[in-house]
Amino acid sequence: MADLRVNLCGVTLKNPVIPASGTFGFGREYHEIYDISILGAVATKGLTLRPRAGNPTPRIAERRGVILNAVGLQNPGVEHFIAHDLAWLKEKTKVIANVAGETLAEYGEICARLNGLVDFLELNISCPNVKCGGMAFGVKPGSIEEVTAVAKKNCPQTPLIVKLSPNVESIAESARAAERGGADAISLVNTFTGLAIDIERRRPVLANNTGGVSGAGIKPIAVRMVYEAARAVKIPVVGMGGITCAEDAVEFLMAGATAVQVGTENFTDTRACPRIIEGLNTWCDAHSVEALSSLTGTLKLN
Amino acid sequence: MREVIATVLENARIAEETYSLTFACGEEIPVRAGQFCMVGVRGFPLRRPIAICKAEGERVTVCYRLKGAGTRTLAENCKIGETLSVLLPLGNGFTLQESEKKIAVVGGGAGVFPLVAAIREYAAEKQIFAYMGFKNRASVCMQYEMQRGEEFVLCTDDGSLGFRGTAVQAFMESVERVRPDAVLACGPTPMLRALKSATAGKPFPVYVSLEERMGCGIGACLVCACEKSDGSRARVCKDGPVFKLNEVIL
């Protein structure tokens, strides 16, 4: 029985496995399938100050080894989350509130509202599916630093994780910008902007035309980006992008991640997270690894 | 709602581009007509949402039409004795009031399959009038299941079998005679739109089962949203798939 605990910004997670924002709601539905208190933490559906209706449908498409989504941040708003889901979820495990805004002021306001109420804030500056806000803040190092600084000023009591977009020139520059802005950690990668075409109709499959690509097919790119980002900063990194099994998670840890998020695989296998947690324990035992956290950043290049 | 590793008992072609898949869940699954399941297809990230046609004890039957690579793989590679990961039962299913005795059932294309479950569930206690539409003679299937009620009108778009025209047209030709207390419907969006305008102002409620591309299938990911007339969004997988036709925007 290996020690799977990890320390993320001074908060101990019982294991490094976190369902990724947008794939897990606020945990209630998955809790009907398994006890979600076994999870290291839960990253909530992206929250905004006011409720958002999201994009028209279809919002999802599938291609070999990947999916594309363009939900467009549909959510019931932060107040609804605080009133209906937060207490329930906090009883189960650590809570990472994923938040987004359309303006700098909105980012500040939503962080202030959740400051001290959740275990972590995850700043969504990389949603590719909304017209304003979202990724507009996440592609230029200058704006990453600026929005991070505004957010951090408004959540002094809560560790701030900045979720980075992979749709950038240099992920190391993005990581450094978040660190300069005062981020306590970074998470990556969000989805890659993609396009799936219905060749019979000669039209995009998604109503939004483009969508965020995720799933097993993006994993090697995500691992490389986590490696580059982790080397560029001193703050911890939460790695994600195509994790389907414990061995995938180990790759991210070796590349420099302290914890990992699992997204698309929750759709393929509803019990993906518990399976990966069990698999990490088995892998550690088989490799005589006593503490999983000792794997972080142990990659040596050829 | 649960996730089971089911064993395939049968996966057979029953009409043109249409298959019937029966699997054993290893435990009895209580299913209401109109509920569906998410079937995992090996090698594909997304499960396929498929309406449940029949559930008897641990045996569940779903029917699917070949739509793309996923359903083609399901048809070709899913052999008897193999295992499938299935989430079920999902969604709300149909609910009829005690007072609703005369039920019209209007289905088109793959939409006929959840209605087969409704006919099975209600045939003993209600009067069922079924109007089922298919593309042509070659795509017709499960007639024996559709004949359990008072009336069954088989329709084909090209007239190669039965009534020439759509299920909605056949239903509207009978509606004044039948005077249903409620209508259950499922089919392609253009068909549901036609039904909505044809039944506007009628005294009976129309319950529709909607189809949408899904992510998780259990209500968490908000991929399968449908717009409601009051401006809110509902999850087709969890709040539906059955809605009152006048409460949704198609």
Q: Read off the tokens for A8.
A: 């993320």
For the B2-90 domain, the top CATH level (class) is mainly beta
* Chain A residue numbers touching B48 (CB-CB < 8 A): none
Per-residue pLDDT of chain A (302 residues; tens, 9 = 90+): 899 999 999 999 999 999 999 999 999 999 999 999 999 999 999 999 999 999 999 999 999 999 999 999 999 999 999 999 999 999 999 999 999 998 899 999 999 999 999 999 999 997 666 655 566 788 899 999 999 999 999 999 999 999 999 999 999 999 999 999 999 999 999 999 999 999 999 999 999 999 999 999 999 999 999 999 999 999 999 999 999 999 999 999 999 999 999 999 999 999 999 999 999 999 999 999 999 999 999 999 99
Tell me which fold the domain B102-211 belongs to.
Answer: Rossmann fold (3.40.50)
Radius of gyration of chain A (CA): 18
Which positions in chain A touch B1 (Cβ < 8 Å)?
A: 32-33
Is the reported ipTM for this assembly greater than 0.85? yes
State mean pLDDT over B131-155. 94
Please answer yes or no on whether A23 and B219 come within 8 Å at the CB atom.
Answer: no
Judge whether A171 and A222 are in contact, CB under 8 Å.
no
Chain B: residue whose CA lies nearest to A23: B221
**Among residues A267, A213, A212, A221, which one has the least CA distance to residue A244?**
A267
Q: Strand B127-134's sheet: what is its strand order?
A: B163-164, B151-156, B127-134, B102-108, B182-186, B206-209, B242-244
Mutate which: A23, A29, A127, vs B, most B CBs within 10 A:
A29
Q: Fill in the amino acid letter for B88.
A: L
Can you name the CATH fold of A6-295?
A: TIM Barrel (3.20.20)
Nearest to A62 among B1, B45, B220 (CB): B45
Task: Evaluate whether A120 touches A96 at the Cβ level (below 8 Å).
Answer: yes
pLDDT for residue B50 = 97
Minimum-distance CB partner of B44 among A45, A62, A271 = A62
Domain limits of chain B? 2-90, 102-211
**Both structure tokens of A171:** 């992920």
Alpha carbon separation from A34 to A270, A273, B183 (Å, rounded): 9, 10, 37
Specify the pairing of strand A66-69 against strand A210-214: antiparallel
The pair phi, psi for residue A192, each rounded to 5°, is -90, 135
In a 13 Å sphere around the CA of A84, the CA atoms on its Cβ side amount to: 11
| Domain locations in chain A as residue ranges | 6-295
Residue A134 confidence (pLDDT)? 60
What dihedral angle (degrees, nearest 10) is formed by the CA atoms of A195, A198, A202, A206?
-50
Query: Strand B83-90 vs strand B59-65: parallel, antiparallel, or unpaired?
Result: unpaired
Minimal-distance CA residue of chain A relative to B217: A267
**Average predicted confidence (pLDDT) for chain B:** 95
Which entry of A9, A111, A127, A132 is annotated as an active-site residue?
A: A127
- Cβ contacts of B240 on chain A, cutoff 8 Å: none
What pLDDT, on the 0 to 100 scale, is given for residue A137?
85
The answer on pLDDT for B56 being more than 90 is yes
- Catalytic residue flag (residue A284): no
* Segments in B156-230 forming alpha helices (H): 167-178, 189-199
Q: Residue A127 has what pLDDT?
A: 67
Question: Do B186 and B205 contact (CB within 8 A), yes or no?
Answer: no
